[in-house]
Amino acid sequence: MSGMYDLAIAGAGLSALSAIAAGLGRRRTIMFDYQDEPGGFLKHALPAPGFETAWELIRSTRIPQGLTACYGATVVGLLPAFEGGEPHTLVVRQKQGTSQVQAKRVLIACGGLEIPREHAQIPGSRPAGVMTPIMAHQLLAQGYLPGKRAIVYGDAHYSRVTAQRLADAGVAVSLISASEAQLVAIEGSPRLQRVTFRRAGETSSMEADLLVYSVGMMANTHWLKGSGISTAEDGAVQVDAGYETNVPGIYAVGTVIAPSLDHVDSLAMGKEVASLLGGTP
């Protein structure tokens, strides 16, 4: 893993895979991901209707010869070389310990985190049974039901897929649109009992032991704090038209630059980055 790489990719989610499928990373490239497999957090919800392209990409993408893919390997810091210099240094944690990796160019493709309930000031208690989709999907995959009567709150296609997954496992699910209903109270202790919504001035409550809060994503950039990489108010990495950050040689792509965009955009951006950074067209 030591030595100097031409390119280091932080994150093996959809945008990175899409770039690799389009030819990026054929030479002296190293890629890291927190998870034990490629495919990003969305993978836990797949396969699912509407996500066929993403699923196909995850299943079919071959890691090319010149690319070392490290899973269970989390990039916890980035030390850019400023003033047009190189290399840049990534601090990586994996089983064997913490190490540093140097690369001439870096592609930040570490995606987003789902916005948790705690980020909105919703009055009420802090019961068990309130989570975002990623947690629900993982618990289901481990063979456990996170609740028996669920409310999935959100508008995204991903919210609907999550609701369907729960229903398939035998959970009674209500899907509530976040654009139509405002969440005004979460009650219950120790477990969730009731959720209250306001729609067009009318308040109504629903009994539930699971609330899947699925209102959107935020950029996963806490690990870039203090690195000197410019981020916007909402945490998203700022890039120019060529996906380059304020630091020459450091690029970013996917949800990490645009948390409100769809997975389809990540796939498209991945292709574009591949051609810009020198993948085969």
Partner 1 sequence: MVKDIQHVDVLIIGGGVVGSAILREVARYSARVVLLERNPDVCEGTSKSNSAIVHTGFDAPPGTLEARLLAGARELWPQVIEHLHIPYLQTGALLIATSDEELATLQNEITPKAERNGVTLSPLTRDEILENAPYINPAIKGGALVEGEGIIDPFWTTRAYCENAVLNGAQVFTGVTVTGMSVEENCISVHTNDGLTFAASLVVNAAGLWSDEVARLAGDHSFALTPRKGQFILIEEDHGVSHIILPIPNRISKGILVTPIIFGGVMLGPTAEDVQDKSDLATTAAGLQQIRQGIARLAPAMAGAASARQFAGLRAVSSTGDYIIRFSTASERLLHVAGIRSTGLSASPAIGRYVADLARDQLGLALRANFIEELPEYLSETHPNEGDVICLCRSITRGEILAALRSPLPPETLDGLKRRTGAMLGDCQGNICMPRLMQLFQQQRGSDLLALNKNYDGSSPVVARVPGREGV
- Provide the token pair at 153: 């709150």
- Provide the token pair at 158: 């991903």
Alpha carbon of residue 260 to chain centroid: 11
Question: Rule CB under 8 A: which residues touch partner 1?
Answer: 34, 41, 72-74, 76, 93-98, 113-114, 116-119, 121, 123-129, 131-132, 134-135, 138-140, 142-148, 169-170, 189-191, 209, 218, 220, 222-223
Nearer to partner 1, 22 or 74 (CB): 74
**Rounded to the nearest 5°, which phi and psi values hold at 71?**
-105, 160
- CB of residue 100 to partner 1, shortest distance in Å: 14
Nearer to partner 1, 21 or 152 (CB): 152
Nearer to partner 1, 4 or 141 (CB): 141
Residue 158 in 3-state DSSP?
helix
Nearer to partner 1, 24 or 178 (CB): 178
- CB of residue 157 to partner 1, shortest distance in Å: 19
Nearer to partner 1, 119 or 199 (CB): 119
Would you state the torsion angle of the CA atoms of residues 251, 254, 257, 261, taken in this order, to the nearest 10 degrees? 160
DSSP string, 12-35: -SHHHHHHHHTT---SSEEEEESS
- CB of residue 88 to partner 1, shortest distance in Å: 19
Nearer to partner 1, 60 or 121 (CB): 121
Residue type, 214: S
Side-chain half-sphere exposure of 216, counting CA atoms within 13 A: 15
SS (H, E, C) 214-240: CCCEEECCHHHCCCCCCECCCCCECCC
- CB of residue 217 to partner 1, shortest distance in Å: 10
- CB of residue 65 to partner 1, shortest distance in Å: 26
- Provide the token pair at 122: 């919703």
- CB of residue 129 to partner 1, shortest distance in Å: 7
